[in-house]
């Protein structure tokens, strides 16, 4: 009887040890599998992140190569513009390049004061018998804000000016209009009125002059996040 009990106890001990060993093996395997999963996820994230970085680098390289390839064509176009007789004929200075006429016609900023001075000096002053009555140039935008385009997507300065001449000197008003038409600045007249005031004739012109904000090219850093 005692022998059977001893034999049974040994079997139970062996079964217990076997269960313990099995538990340890299962626990160990679980730990290994867990580490493998974590490492796999980490490596997967690194691969995806590296691919994103490589894609951004390829995009930057492609853009730079495209810009560099466009330079010869741009230089060629500028050389052609500098030989354009029409542009040469409207230069403000004889020693300016012809392409400078394009820049003068479409300034890079909304300089309200400069526009007012230009209208007065180039379109009004020097015409015999013409008197400047009023001149108003609306600020294109707040100085602290970026340039704002109008509804048509273009950038412009609105202006109004009025000049007067003697009633017998209406040809002077015609000269002012011709100067506006021949102005190198891109000007659009939206309203024009001529009225009599006693022995004077008053010409009022409302319109706007265009400008095009300068384009900037700069290299910048871009953060690519995992």
* 152-164 residue pLDDT tens: 677 888 999 999 9
Residue 215 is inside which H or E element, if any? none
CA distance 4 to 161: 124
Domain count, the chain: 2
Residues 110 and 38 in one domain: no
Residue 194 is inside which H or E element, if any? strand 187-197
Q: Which two tokens stand for residue 12?
A: 């139970």
Per-residue pLDDT, averaged over 16-34, amounts to 73
Distance of CA 120 to the CA centre of its chain: 32
Question: Of 81, 115, 133, which residue constitutes the final position of a domain?
Answer: 81
Residue indicated by tokens 């102005």: 183
Residues 66 and 116 in one domain: no
Residue indicated by tokens 């217990």: 16
Q: Which residues contact 204 (CB under 8 A, 6 or more apart)?
A: 160, 161, 162, 191, 192, 193, 194, 195
226 domain residue, yes or no: no
Residues 112 and 198 in one domain: yes
Q: Which residues contact 17 (CB under 8 A, 6 or more apart)?
A: none
Percentage of the chain with pLDDT > 70?
A: 85
Q: Kindly tell me if the per-residue pLDDT of 107 is higher than 60.
A: yes
Residues 67 and 115 in one domain: no
217 domain residue, yes or no: no
CA distance 12 to 208: 103
- 51-55, 77-81, 92-96: segment of lowest average pLDDT: 92-96
CA distance 107 to 93: 16
Determine the structural domain holding residue 144 and report its residue range: 105-211
Contacts 24+ apart (CB under 8 A), 186-192: 186/105, 186/106, 186/210, 188/156
Backbone angles phi, psi at 69, to 5 degrees: -65, -25
Question: Of 34, 66, 81, which residue constitutes the final position of a domain?
Answer: 81
pTM > 0.75: yes or no: no
222 domain residue, yes or no: no
- Partner residues linked to 158 by β-bridges: 208
Question: Are 111 and 147 spatial neighbours (Cβ–Cβ below 8 Å)?
Answer: no
Question: Are 157 and 110 spatial neighbours (Cβ–Cβ below 8 Å)?
Answer: yes
- How confident is the model over 174-224, as pLDDT tens digits? 999 998 888 888 888 999 999 988 889 999 999 988 888 877 777 777 777
Highest mean pLDDT among 64-73, 102-111, 135-144: 64-73
CA distance 144 to 149: 15
Residues 70 and 133 in one domain: no
Q: Look at the chain and count its residues.
A: 226
């Amino acid at each position: 009887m005692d022998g059977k009990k001893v034999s049974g106890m040994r079997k139970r001990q062996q079964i217990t040890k076997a269960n313990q060993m099995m538990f340890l093996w299962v626990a160990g395997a679980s730990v290994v599998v867990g580490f493998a999963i974590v490492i796999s996820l980490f490596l997967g994230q690194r691969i995806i992140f590296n691919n994103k970085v490589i894609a951004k680098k390829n995009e930057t390289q492609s853009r730079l190569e495209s810009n560099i390839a466009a330079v010869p064509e741009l230089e060629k176009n500028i050389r052609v513009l500098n030989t354009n007789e029409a542009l040469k004929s409207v230069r403000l200075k004889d020693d300016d390049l012809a392409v400078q006429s394009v820049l003068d016609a479409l300034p890079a900023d909304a300089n309200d004061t400069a526009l007012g001075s230009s209208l007065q000096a180039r379109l009004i002053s020097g015409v015999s018998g013409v008197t400047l009555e009023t001149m108003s140039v609306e600020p294109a935008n707040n100085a602290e804000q970026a340039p704002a385009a109008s509804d048509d997507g273009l950038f412009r300065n609105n202006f109004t000016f009025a000049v007067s001449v003697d009633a017998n000197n209406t040809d002077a008003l015609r000269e002012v209009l011709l100067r506006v038409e021949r102005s190198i600045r891109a000007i659009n007249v939206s309203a024009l009125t001529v009225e009599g005031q006693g022995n004077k004739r008053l010409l009022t012109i409302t319109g706007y002059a265009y400008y095009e904000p300068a384009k900037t090219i700069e290299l910048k850093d871009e953060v690519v996040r995992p």
